[in-house]
């Protein structure tokens, strides 16, 4: 305790003597009117031995570390309000909560986008050059990510940010309601407003940021979700996927047509048992419930929060099919492992401690849900146990073989969320095409349902009418996430490519799965991906782990292996 | 919708043309370094027809309204985090949550305490004098309360505020834990730190605030909880209480000693049924569950939140006595009615829409819990129903008469929370005495347990040893609430004095209670107290409602009536 106290005293006097005067000077000499709210100094209850608080000779960099600690606190508060919004908030608080969430987004934005942050960044870069010996690779990366965040925010009017935050939360509820009633008349004007607002944000980002002055509004949006990927890269990767799938998919459908169809599950599968199963599987993959939770809500599944308070939200369970909530749980659980595995103990709230963006995030979810969670050995572990849990001894639909078949059956379907692993790509590609058209002006919202169905028909041939209007099925556009969808397909590719290395490093994955033990897998992912935070750029990380750039080849090989060559 | 849009447009252009330039001028001409974060302009989804957003010719006052709207949003967010802390937060988030809560307290404090707020207040006062026709009584009161809030914060270092917020939340957990183990060795250093910190806050408030330059640190603290009361006022009222109780208490004890003792309850009273009962009683008093909730936690009872999201927290129910959680529920429910009844629809987050301080808040809780909730007619309603609910048909301990006796039995006890209505005052008076000694320096924390027990003995004569160390029983000091305790005794007096008027206005209170209908009572309190917000000062409100200043006479008359004259 006295050691800690002396470290804290040291840090505090460093703060008072070196940093605060420097900060005040900078504030005085700036000509801009926007005020900078000084970050709080070291608080005695924080861990002084983290890199976040470690003294650094660049006082500008220290200021940035404290400013971004405070930004991180705003983030964490916003995440908690978000979980509460979905799980505990009384319905009468809806409107005022929107105001509070919007307000916090504004304040956070103002603190990131302050021009004095740019001055600190410039000064820190100068120090980086003049005293390279004081900067290790993590500090370099942290400053780089600070700058990226600053550039990301600096051109956007706080009012747009506040409005998007409000509208996004409204959208989550609007989506839940329009889905229930297949209500396009409510959805249409909402989506129009959301696209209009998002376009204004995109335009302020892409038109005025010198480093990206040639990018399209859609590219500017994509930067928020999938850093390190350009539209052209994605088009190339997606083109390769499409080409090879045109060859593979008919073969797979043909092979499966010759096999016996799986037996449908017979419910009921009571909610309590399903939620117990879901929590137990999360424990098996290593999710830490002392730092997070699983919540059943009426809302679309979503993950989020912080490494200390990670929330996995799934929709209401379906009592006629336990595989649906289990799928959601495994998917969100993969996200959850990533969130909980970030280098928070060392880097706390610093940008270098953030995740690698949504393509990487989805790779972690799809690794658990699809790559591993659809292996035959997993169902060998699961089948006898769910026979017991749901009191269905000897039910043939509950056999390992049948569960495996149910989860690997390839079908042309209108619904992304129940799509199989092979056709999943086409669902993503369709959304990627359409949202670019919405932003280029080639497609108007009023024509979206028709365009959607036409594209579906073009992709899959004559489609059965969907139970819910196709373009209403996803929450993403309702919460303003345009430019997000490619994450799923990229994430699937990343997962498959990572798996080629993981299977060499952990040679007994099949045995582990058949014992229901995914802890070694979690540890591998944690070591290779989660703990890396944003130390590397996304492209560099895949090279570092797998020895080459991202390609669709491993995913396509995985399809061949699982869907054509396995018995 | 188009009307609303035009109103919003009008407000927005007023904002842009008149207010922002005025604000920026003020910011430029100030010599202070502290930056002012401009409030957000009108957001389109807010209600434009509230007084909060109503245009006012004083641009400084408009600025203040927007600044205090944002302060109110911080408050609301802090309240939600607080509820989550007690109910849903995973335990691994404890430490980071303290940092987040402390940070938000700091930011809120900085926005209130900004010297430019003082400049706006000055300018608004000038307008108030020069154009009195533009100021109605609510606007006057709002500006007065804004100034009080500003003065309350302006002298205190944000660091102290941040530390107190963190320490207060730590204290809630420390208190829960030390209570479980009667652990004075952990409690003592914690209380020392808390008192030290609180004294520093008190001293900065009382020494540098010109309007109160003669006040003691304790008085400065009390101002936060019990505005409008001075120590001397309280000493006078408490002196009158003590004197009369010295006469009454022996008579009451004597009378009850001659009666048959009540029959103790025989459990178990299962948790589920108790919580159902508690929720049902809250509905009966008019608590609106669409704008709030009741939560069973391991923590000390507390109420809080906002009119849209009011949380009533009670400790874990005791399965051997349902009256314990019921008592907590009725008490917190009285608070809850006050929170939900504030003029939020009109004044939204403005200071004039706040409650009247804690003495008034406790009056609302004690009105429900004690004045009404211990009337015989209430138990006539309750008794047959709880016989059914708990499946105890014909159990004599469940009769209306016996429940009434259990709740009106006067005993000298060491425990405030289970104290009867008559001796309750002594428990409060003891704490009022001791906390003043802690702050004057006459008593050190290490001597607290002994001083506490000695004072107990002095008050009640030879006391049985308490199951938990006396001075550990309350959470208040652990969360830094020094100067709060007098609220309970003052609130009890206010409640009794209000009741003298209420019983004339609602002549069938006994019948209503025997039907389990407290809605007319809720409406009366709402009309007379809740909806008034802070329009009047506390002393003026009691005069307005009851025609005279606060005195202990109605409470003492109530004791005589219930405990000496009733059969």
Same domain, B344 and B428: yes
Q: Enumerate residues 158 to 177 of chain A having a beta carbon within 8 A of any beta carbon in chain B.
A: 158-159, 162-163, 166
Structure tokens at B268: 């178990």
**pLDDT at position A401:** 97
Same domain, A446 and A542: yes
Helix (H) or strand (E) holding A510: helix A509-514
Q: Is A290 inside a domain boundary?
A: no
Structure tokens at A552: 């669709």
Interface contact A114, partner B, CB < 8 A: no
Interface contact A345, partner B, CB < 8 A: no
Q: Is A391 inside a domain boundary?
A: yes
| Helix residue spans in A259-369 (DSSP H) | 271-284, 322-341, 344-347, 358-366
- Residue B32 binned pLDDT confidence (cut-offs 50, 70, 90): very low
| Helix residue spans in B41-183 (DSSP H) | 59-87, 94-113, 115-130, 137-154, 158-181
Same domain, B264 and B296: yes
d(CA A550, CA A539): 7
Same domain, A242 and A145: no
Q: How far is A339 from chain B (nearest CA, A)?
A: 13
d(CA A515, CA A377): 8
Q: How far is A116 from chain B (nearest CA, A)?
A: 13
Interface contact A35, partner B, CB < 8 A: yes
Q: Is A317 inside a domain boundary?
A: no
Shortest CA distance from A23: residue in chain B: B33
3-class SS of residue B441 = coil
Contact A27 B37 (CB under 8 A): no
Same domain, B251 and B135: no
* Phi, psi angle pair for B302, to nearest 5°: -160, 150
Distances (CA, A) of A81 to A288, A346, B313: 21, 25, 19
**pLDDT at position B469:** 72
Q: How far is B194 from chain A (nearest CA, A)?
A: 14
Q: Is A521 inside a domain boundary?
A: yes
Mean pLDDT across the stretch B37-52? 64
Considering CB atoms only, which of B104, B290, B309 is closest to A77?
B104
Q: How far is B429 from chain A (nearest CA, A)?
A: 35
Distances (CA, A) of A59 to A15, A54, A112, B250: 9, 12, 18, 71
d(CA A517, CA B100): 36
Are residues B457 and B389 in contact, defined by beta-carbon separation less than 8 angstroms? no
Structure tokens at B348: 């939204």
Long-range contacts of A258-263 (CB under 8 A, 24+ apart): A259/A405, A261/A405, A261/A409, A262/A397, A262/A402, A262/A405, A262/A406, A262/A409, A263/A396, A263/A397, A263/A402
Tell me which of B36, B87, B96 to substitute to probe the interface with A (most A C-beta atoms closer than 10 Å): B96
For chain B, what percent of residues have pLDDT higher than 90? 77
Tell me which of B23, B30, B37 to substitute to probe the interface with A (most A C-beta atoms closer than 10 Å): B37
Predicted TM-score of the model (pTM): 0.91
Are residues A309 and A323 in contact, defined by beta-carbon separation less than 8 angstroms? no
**pLDDT at position B17:** 65
> Which CATH number is B301's domain given?
1.10.1370.30
pLDDT value at B45 more than 50: no
What is the secondary structure of A61-107 as a DSSP string? Answer: HHHHHHHHHHHHHHHHHHHHHHHHHHHT--GGGHHHHHHHHHHHHHH
**pLDDT at position A502:** 98
- Burial of B309-346, coded b for 16+ CB within 10 Å and e otherwise, reads bbbbbbbebeeebbbbbbbbbbbbbbbbbbbbbbbbeb
Shortest CA distance from A78: residue in chain B: B77
Residue ending a domain, choose from A111, A130, A154: A154
Please choose, from the candidates B391, B485, B482, B352, the residue with its C-alpha nearest in 3D space to the C-alpha of residue B72.
B352
Structure tokens at B270: 């299962």
Interface contact B276, partner A, CB < 8 A: no
Same domain, B10 and B101: yes
Mean pLDDT across the stretch B272-289? 97
Domain count, chain B: 2
Same domain, A11 and A105: yes
Interface contact A102, partner B, CB < 8 A: yes
Are residues B195 and B482 in contact, defined by beta-carbon separation less than 8 angstroms? yes
Contact A33 B45 (CB under 8 A): no
Mean pLDDT across the stretch B537-552? 96
The single residue listed with the structure tokens 């305490």 is: B113
Contact B77 A99 (CB under 8 A): no
- Burial of B221-238, coded b for 16+ CB within 10 Å and e otherwise, reads bbbbbbbbbebebbeebb
Residues of A in contact with B104 (CB under 8 A): 73, 77
d(CA B96, CA A348): 9
Q: How many CB pairs under 8 A join A and B?
A: 146
Range in A78-82, A483-487, B15-19, B481-485 the model is least confident about: B15-19
Residue ending a domain, choose from A119, A154, A189: A154
Interface contact A111, partner B, CB < 8 A: no
Same domain, B451 and B498: yes
d(CA B133, CA B127): 10
The single residue listed with the structure tokens 């309850």 is: B265
Contact A95 B291 (CB under 8 A): no
Contact B33 A28 (CB under 8 A): yes
**Sequence-distant (≥ 6) Cβ neighbours of residue A94 within 8 angstroms:** A173
Residue ending a domain, choose from B225, B251, B278: B225
Same domain, B483 and B424: yes
Same domain, A496 and A406: yes
**pLDDT at position A31:** 32
Write out the residue range of the structural domain in which residue A361 sits.
Answer: 231-267+355-565
d(CA A419, CA A435): 20
Structure tokens at B68: 């205090």
- Report, as ranges of residue numbers, the positions in chain A whose pLDDT lies below 70: 1-48, 207-214, 462, 464-468, 567
pLDDT value at B133 more than 70: yes
**pLDDT at position B299:** 82
Interface contact B41, partner A, CB < 8 A: yes
Q: How far is A186 from chain B (nearest CA, A)?
A: 16
**pLDDT at position B209:** 45
Same domain, B218 and B301: no
Looking at every residue in chain B, the average pLDDT score rounds to: 90
Are residues A476 and A432 in contact, defined by beta-carbon separation less than 8 angstroms? no
Burial of A244 (0-12, 13-18, 19+ CB in 10 A): middle
Interface contact B144, partner A, CB < 8 A: no
- Burial of A202-213, coded b for 16+ CB within 10 Å and e otherwise, reads bbbbbeebeeee
d(CA A174, CA A172): 6
**pLDDT at position B301:** 84
Are residues A359 and A490 in contact, defined by beta-carbon separation less than 8 angstroms? yes
Contact A80 B81 (CB under 8 A): yes
Residue A532 per-residue DSSP state: G
Are residues A412 and A461 in contact, defined by beta-carbon separation less than 8 angstroms? yes
Q: How far is B489 from chain A (nearest CA, A)?
A: 33
Same domain, B465 and B536: yes
Q: How far is A567 from chain B (nearest CA, A)?
A: 45
**pLDDT at position A209:** 45
3-class SS of residue A302 = strand
Q: How far is A292 from chain B (nearest CA, A)?
A: 6
The distance from CA B450 to its chain's CA centroid, rounded to whole angstroms, is 29
**pLDDT at position A9:** 64
Tell me which of A37, A159, A279 to substitute to probe the interface with B (most B C-beta atoms closer than 10 Å): A37
What is the secondary structure of B287-300 as a DSSP string? Answer: --GGGEEEEE-SSP
Q: Is A281 inside a domain boundary?
A: no
State ipTM: 0.90
3-class SS of residue A375 = coil
Residues of A in contact with B162 (CB under 8 A): 40, 43
Considering CB atoms only, which of A33, A95, A309 is closest to B89?
A309
Considering CB atoms only, which of A37, A306, A309 is closest to B110?
A37
Residues of B in contact with A306 (CB under 8 A): 93, 96
Structure tokens at A174: 């609007």
Contact A80 B84 (CB under 8 A): yes
**pLDDT at position A562:** 97
Are residues B514 and B400 in contact, defined by beta-carbon separation less than 8 angstroms? no
Range in B114-123, B318-327, B360-369, B448-457 the model is least confident about: B448-457
Q: How far is B421 from chain A (nearest CA, A)?
A: 34
Q: Is A311 inside a domain boundary?
A: no
């Amino acid at each position: 305790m006295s050691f800690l106290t002396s470290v804290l005293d040291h840090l505090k006097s460093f703060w008072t003597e070196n940093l605060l005067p420097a900060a005040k000077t900078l504030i005085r000499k700036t000509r801009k009117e926007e005020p900078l709210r000084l970050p709080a100094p070291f608080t005695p209850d924080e861990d002084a031995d983290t890199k976040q608080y470690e003294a650094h000779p660049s006082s500008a960099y220290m200021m940035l570390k404290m400013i971004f600690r405070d930004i991180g606190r705003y983030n964490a508060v916003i995440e908690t309000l978000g979980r509460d919004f979905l799980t505990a908030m009384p319905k009468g608080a809806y409107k005022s909560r929107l105001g509070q969430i919007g307000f916090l987004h504004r304040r956070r934005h103002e603190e990131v986008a302050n021009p004095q942050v740019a001055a600190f960044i410039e000064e820190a870069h100068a120090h980086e050059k003049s005293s390279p010996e004081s900067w290790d690779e993590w500090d370099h990366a942290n400053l780089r990510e600070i700058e990226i965040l600053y550039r990301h925010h600096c051109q956007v009017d706080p009012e747009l940010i506040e409005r998007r935050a409000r509208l996004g939360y409204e959208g989550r509820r609007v989506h839940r309601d329009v889905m229930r009633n297949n209500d396009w008349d409510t959805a249409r004007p909402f989506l129009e407003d959301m696209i209009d607002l998002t376009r204004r944000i995109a335009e302020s980002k892409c038109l005025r940021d010198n480093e990206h002055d040639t990018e399209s509004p859609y590219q500017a949006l994509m930067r928020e979700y999938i850093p390190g990927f350009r539209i052209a890269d994605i088009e190339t990767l997606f083109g390769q996927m499409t080409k090879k799938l045109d060859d593979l998919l008919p073969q797979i459908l043909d092979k499966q047509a010759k096999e016996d169809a799986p037996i449908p599950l017979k419910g009921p599968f009571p909610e309590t048992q399903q939620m117990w199963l879901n929590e137990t599987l999360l424990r098996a993959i290593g999710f830490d419930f002392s730092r997070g939770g699983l919540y059943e809500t009426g809302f679309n599944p979503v993950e989020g929060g912080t490494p200390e308070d990670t929330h996995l939200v799934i929709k209401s369970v379906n009592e006629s099919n336990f595989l649906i909530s289990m799928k959601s749980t495994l998917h969100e659980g993969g996200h959850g492992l990533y969130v909980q595995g970030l280098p928070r103990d060392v880097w706390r709230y610093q940008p270098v401690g953030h995740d690698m963006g949504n393509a990487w995030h989805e790779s972690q979810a799809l690794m658990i849900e699809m790559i591993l969670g659809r292996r035959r050995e997993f169902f060998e572990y699961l089948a006898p146990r769910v026979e017991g849990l749901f009191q269905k001894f000897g039910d043939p639909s509950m056999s390992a073989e049948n569960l495996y078949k149910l989860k690997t059956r390839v079908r042309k379907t209108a619904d992304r969320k129940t799509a199989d692993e092979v056709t999943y790509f086409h669902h993503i590609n369709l959304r990627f095409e359409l949202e670019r058209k919405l932003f280029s002006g080639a497609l108007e919202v009023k024509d979206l349902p028709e365009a959607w169905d036409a594209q579906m028909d073009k992709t899959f041939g004559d489609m059965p009418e969907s139970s819910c209007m196709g373009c209403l099925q996803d929450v993403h556009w309702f919460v303003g996430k345009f430019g997000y969808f490619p994450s799923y397909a990229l994430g699937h590719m990343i997962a498959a490519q990572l798996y080629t290395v993981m299977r060499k490093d952990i040679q007994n994955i099949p045995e582990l799965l058949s014992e229901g033990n995914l802890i070694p897998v979690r540890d591998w992912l944690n070591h290779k991906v989660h703990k890396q935070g944003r130390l590397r750029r996304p492209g560099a990380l895949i090279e570092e782990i797998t020895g080459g750039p991202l390609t669709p080849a491993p995913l396509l090989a995985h399809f061949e292996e699982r869907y054509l060559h396995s018995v």
